Amino acid sequence: MNLKFKNLKINKKHIILSLFALSINQLDAQKTKPYVSEVWVSDLGNGNYKNPVLYSDYSDPDAIRVGDDYYMTASSFNEAPGLPILHSKDMVNWKLVNYAIQDVLPKEHFSVPRRGDAVWAPSIRFHKGEFYIYWGDPDFGIYMVKTKNPLGKWDEPVLVMEGKGLIDSCPFWDDNGDAYLVHGWAGSRAGVKSILTLNKMNSEGTKVLYKGVHVFDGHDAHPTVEGPKMYKRNGYYYIFAPAGGVATGWQLILRSKNIYGPYEEKIVLEQGKAKINGPHQGAWVDTPKGEDWFYHFQDVDAGGRLVHLQPMKWEKDWPVMGIDTDKNGIGEPVLTYKKPNVGKVSNRNACRI
């Protein structure tokens, strides 16, 4: 055989093998490379992030940390499946991983389109090894679902409190195991709004026991106060609540040494001179490294309600959110900031929108 021809055949074989190996490597790289949105990426890749962290319609978000995992849910109204479950490892990159409900109840009622009804402003909590989500249906009452595995099947919804106009509910288990439920009111159904009501529940969180107590009336200074989230820190009971309306509102904080009040009040986040309108309604979340952060939404009309993340700290037992740029004692939302310090992060979930 001609030596030149033999070398040509060998080289051709090497080229084919090289191309095959390259294609295999590319396939492997595609499998291991995390998905990154081509539309919007909040993670700037340099240790900072830009808002919104979710450029998508996740209305009335609530979030928690369990260990080094972060979970978020949001209003889903009459859509099914509903109550989206999002997961993150770093608080900035989120992935949609599940839904907590497959049908909206009652099925017969929602067998026809009822746009904007059903699942309003849910709260997600972790208690004694189980995940709970509570939400208010303005026509039927307050429901709850729970599970031990947020990525698996959730239990069937339980009607915790029946009634019309009951919305924006949040459970709270005190240090002694007593369970409470705080909620707002829909003026369109109840004929009254701008009031927050606290109810006692059984320890399982499946039923309200007594008639509730109105713990805050926002008619004078905080109209449309709603979406309450309850926490406890340093002996204070806190209610984080948005007020002032969806597109133009502010974030209000209430605190008291007695769970039934009276509550002191303080506005801690407002638009001010920032470009982010109505920065309110969301969740306080801490990191294993001791940092505090606040999620909230921004209403952008037909674009939905986008999720933002604000730095947060505590001063004299009041939360301080965002940056107080005009020095009036009230924070304003940031557009870019240093990412949360969550410790070592593995298997990062890039934002899917």
Give the pLDDT of residue 30. 53
> pLDDT (tens digit, 9 = 90+) per residue, 200-217?
999 999 999 999 999 999
Asked if 255 contacts 264 with a C-beta cutoff of 8 angstroms, the reply is yes
- Go through the chain and tell me how many residues it has: 353
Could you tell me which of 45, 47, 46 has the C-alpha nearest to residue 340? 47
- The CATH superfamily of 40-338 is Glycosyl hydrolase domain; family 43 (2.115.10.20)
How high is the pLDDT of residue 340? Answer: 98
DSSP per position, 47-76: SEEES-SB-S---S-EEEEETTEEEEE---
* pLDDT at residue 105, as a whole number: 94
- DSSP codes of every residue in 303-352: G-EEEEEEEEEEETTEEEESB-TT-SSSBB--SEEEPP--SS--S-----
Contact predicate 215/260, CB 8 Å: yes
Question: Using one digit for the tens of pLDDT, what is the confidence trace for 285-316?
Answer: 999 999 999 999 999 999 999 999 999 999 99
Say if residue 95 is exposed, middle or buried (CB neighbours under 10 Å; 0-12, 13-18, 19+).
middle
d(CA 324, CA 330): 6
- pTM (two decimals): 0.89
Cis peptide preceding 81, ω within 30 of 0: yes
Query: Which residues are known catalytic residues?
Result: 60, 226
pLDDT-flagged residues of the chain (< 50)? 3-8, 10, 19, 348-353
Per-residue confidence (pLDDT) for residue 3, from 0 to 100: 46
**Structure confidence at residue 120 (pLDDT):** 98
Domain locations in the chain as residue ranges = 40-338
Check: CB of residue 42 under 8 Å from CB of residue 93.
Answer: yes
Quote the CA–CA distance of 119 and 107 in Å, as a whole number: 13
Instruction: Please state, in angstroms and rounded to a whole number, the distance separating the CA atoms of residues 60 and 256.
Output: 25
Which residues, 6+ apart, have CB-to-CB distance to 200 below 8 Å? 178, 179, 180, 181, 208, 209, 210
Q: What is the per-residue pLDDT for 14? A: 56
- Hunting for tokens 């008291």 — which residue is that? 256
From the list 83, 86, 110, 115, the residue with the least C-alpha distance to 99 is: 83
